[in-house]
Amino acid sequence: MKHRIVVLGAGYAGAFCAGYLARRLHPDDVEITVVNAESDFVERLRLHQLAAGQNLRHRPLAKIFAGTGIRLRVARITHVDVERRAVDLVDGQGVDRLEYDTLVYALGSTAADHGVPGVAEHAFHVAARPAALRLRARLDELGDHGKVLVVGGNLTAIEAATEIAEAHPGIPIGLATRGELGGWLGPKARRHLLRTFDRFGIEVHEHTTIARVEQASVVAADGTIFAADTTVWTAGFAVHPIAAASGLAVEANGQITVDRHMRSVSHPGVYVAGDSAFIIADNGLPLPMSCASAGFTGTQATAAIIGDLTGRKVETTSLPYVGNHISLGRKDGLFQFVDGDGRSMPGALRGRPAARVKATILAFTAWSLRHPTLGKPSHRYRLATTREHAPEVVAA
């Protein structure tokens, strides 16, 4: 019987892991199944563009995995039973259970509501495609009437506010954030950001904590009421509750606790990649949720799986945090590098060159999903048959 590898989620981390493993492990030894809620690869980095009215290119997963032997299962995962090594799914045909020998958990994250009342009922977000499409429909419905308030002052809030402002110049847009807008940026990047918000006419309310969202307004902790026909909630990401409910060891924020090789510390045989994993980066700080982190953690997880299943020494790969690329509409952007302590450097790439760099990164990322070995010739390893699959846990 073949060793059954099940990959949960086909976002940046899951699609990479599945494609890479299919090219590195012998097809006579392993059977790889990917379970994903959608039949397409969703470019999450472009969901603010989708919400603002742009049409994204369809990237069917069946095409991305063509010729690899990967089985694709389009279904919603409802539960992971890590004791019985099984996953519960639901799709158009009903419920089903899938058993595994090795699990790759890469379900990503969703919008974090931080327990603020009214967010679930009244706010829109851009953390998943269905949500981005709901916001798009709402913005179309508003036409040039009504106000939009974006909540949050970090990357997704900045990208969403500027994208909507550029695509819907007639809609008045405000942004409310607990701290400062892009307060972590270096001085040059921040000046550029504030000038851009000014150019788009986005009204910024800093040091404003939102305590409640209502149907046509948002209420701050100090009682200030902001009129908002549409509230866009972009105040960070949270891991899907499936991880904690499965019995896997998780951190206070719900991310799965892993060793340095991305193995669950509580359940060997479960490997984690992308936003769902809590891992300390090379700089000694938690690795941020990002597309680049999905690539680095995916690279480490696949190295561990190959090592553990074939009896080879597991290579420790790097987990760096180098900076952020931020779009400010379609023609403007920022590329902020960080130093070895994760602090923004004084300089930054700004304007059109930054927008071009970001476009190149996005295009390269999409290309790399079909070429996870980056064009290097595939060498397929056979599984070790003579030893137990009992990987040694490596401290994070």
Contacts to ligand FAD by CB under 6 A: 9-14, 35-38, 42, 44-45, 47-48, 76-77, 106-108, 126-127, 156, 159, 240, 242, 274-275, 289-292, 294, 325
User: What are the beta bridge partners of residue 350?
Assistant: 334
324/327 Cα distance (integer angstroms): 10
Residue 244 or 384: the one with the smaller Cβ distance to ligand FAD is 244
CA dihedral sign of residues 386, 387, 388, 390: negative
Return the structure tokens found at 208.
């404003």
180/184 Cα distance (integer angstroms): 8
Closest-approach residue to ligand FAD (CB): 11
309/396 Cα distance (integer angstroms): 21
Q: Roughly what angle, to the nearest 10 degrees, separates helices 291-310 and 12-24?
A: 30
Question: From the CB of 127, what's the least distance to ligand FAD, in Å?
Answer: 5
Residue 9 or 174: the one with the smaller Cβ distance to ligand FAD is 9
Q: Tell me the C-alpha to C-alpha distance, in Å, between residue 266 and each of 55, 79, 256, 302.
A: 42, 17, 9, 19
Tokens 């939009």: give the residue. Answer: 148
Return the structure tokens found at 294.
């999905």
Residue 27 or 60: the one with the smaller Cβ distance to ligand FAD is 60
Which among 287, 288, 243, 289 is positioned nearest to 267, based on CA atoms? 243
Question: From the CB of 39, what's the least distance to ligand FAD, in Å?
Answer: 10
123/386 Cα distance (integer angstroms): 55
Residue 25 or 47: the one with the smaller Cβ distance to ligand FAD is 47
Residue 76 or 114: the one with the smaller Cβ distance to ligand FAD is 76
Question: From the CB of 80, what's the least distance to ligand FAD, in Å?
Answer: 10
Question: From the CB of 222, what's the least distance to ligand FAD, in Å?
Answer: 29
Q: Are 88 and 73 in contact (CB under 8 A)?
A: no
Question: From the CB of 132, what's the least distance to ligand FAD, in Å?
Answer: 7
Question: From the CB of 269, what's the least distance to ligand FAD, in Å?
Answer: 20
Question: From the CB of 390, what's the least distance to ligand FAD, in Å?
Answer: 27
Phi and psi of 242, rounded to 5°?
Answer: -55, -35
Question: From the CB of 349, what's the least distance to ligand FAD, in Å?
Answer: 14
Residue 132 or 210: the one with the smaller Cβ distance to ligand FAD is 132
Q: Are 62 and 19 in contact (CB under 8 A)?
A: no
Residue 45 or 193: the one with the smaller Cβ distance to ligand FAD is 45
Q: Are 182 and 158 in contact (CB under 8 A)?
A: yes
Residue 30 or 47: the one with the smaller Cβ distance to ligand FAD is 47
